[in-house]
Amino acid sequence: MTYQVSRRGFAKIAGISAAGAALAGFGLIGCSSASKDAKTAEGGSKTIKIAASPTPHAEILSGAVKPLLEEKGFTLQIDEFNDYVQPNLAVQEGEENANYFQHQPYLDNFNKENGTDLVSVAAVHYEPFGLYAGKKKSLADLSAGDQIAVPSDATNEARALLLLQQEGIIKLKDGAGIEATVNDIAENPLNLSFKELEAAQVSRSLQDVSIAAINANYAIEAGLSVSKDALAVESAEGKAASTYANILCVKKGSENDEGIKALAEALRSDKVRDFINATFDGAVLPVF
């Protein structure tokens, strides 16, 4: 399937044959399906194919999870993606056994918009969303008419707006919650404007805007430290920590596959917890 990115989601626009071309463009090589790859000879090494964002997800998988699975006779193949669309398509079409890059609200919205049948197997970690300096070096420096960059996808835009509300910069309509859009802003004292960009592009816009609301994984990729560079972050005690935990995702019906159960167990192990805490300087927090 081919999907067209829109502001509130993704609309399915073409046939199944286009999926192969789309996925090939992201470096997926080989013609055998993930399910076929995962079913090797009894007693031999079994391959689990997983799609992941480079940071922190692929780092966690390669640095801590892969060795644990090897001890259990599984080979973990990690395919890196730099967007939030293709990893779900790859699992839906059977090119990957699982993915690890998203939180539950994003998955729920993706399934709703695209008619996909993907489910969460385990919650693994939380990445505090942050506000970062562009042309303005502090939130106190914001002035009338300044522009703020936010992710354009439905769930992450709401998350950015809730953080801006947390800092007293805007106020949302009552009940807007995790589905808030810029249309739900009730009070905007500085008459700020909002530059809505695909999530991976927000950090690249810092020089063009006053401040930007950036997902932690993309902040890390841009060389930003959540603990040192963020002007504000989501409260660890707030609803965000549970709502936006990053999950291991599979196609419905695969939850109890041997390899998936082993993968979920490894992702929520003491070794992974220690690896996350030692590696990411507070930008990634285990939720187990």
* Residue 283: band (very low, low, confident or very high) from pLDDT cuts 50, 70, 90: confident
Q: What is the pLDDT of residue 44?
A: 52
Mean of the pLDDT values across residues 45-52?
93
Q: At what angle do helices 154-166 and 104-114 cross, to 10 degrees?
A: 140
Over the chain, what is the mean pLDDT? 86
How far is residue 257 CA from its own chain's centroid? Answer: 24
Q: Which residue has the higher pLDDT, 149 or 25?
A: 149
Mean of the pLDDT values across residues 145-165?
93
Range from 38-42, 75-79, 242-246 that averages highest in pLDDT: 75-79
For 211, the enclosing helix (H) or strand (E) is strand 211-214
Kindly report whether the global pTM for this prediction surpasses the value 0.75: no
For a pLDDT cut of 70, what percent of the chain falls above it? 83
Q: What is the pLDDT of residue 222?
A: 92
Look-up of token digits 């530059």: 195
Q: Which residue has the higher pLDDT, 5 or 222?
A: 222
Q: What is the pLDDT of residue 5?
A: 33
C-alpha–C-alpha distance, residues 233 and 219, integer Å: 12
Q: What is the pLDDT of residue 45?
A: 60
Residue 198: count of CB within 10 angstroms of its CB: 14
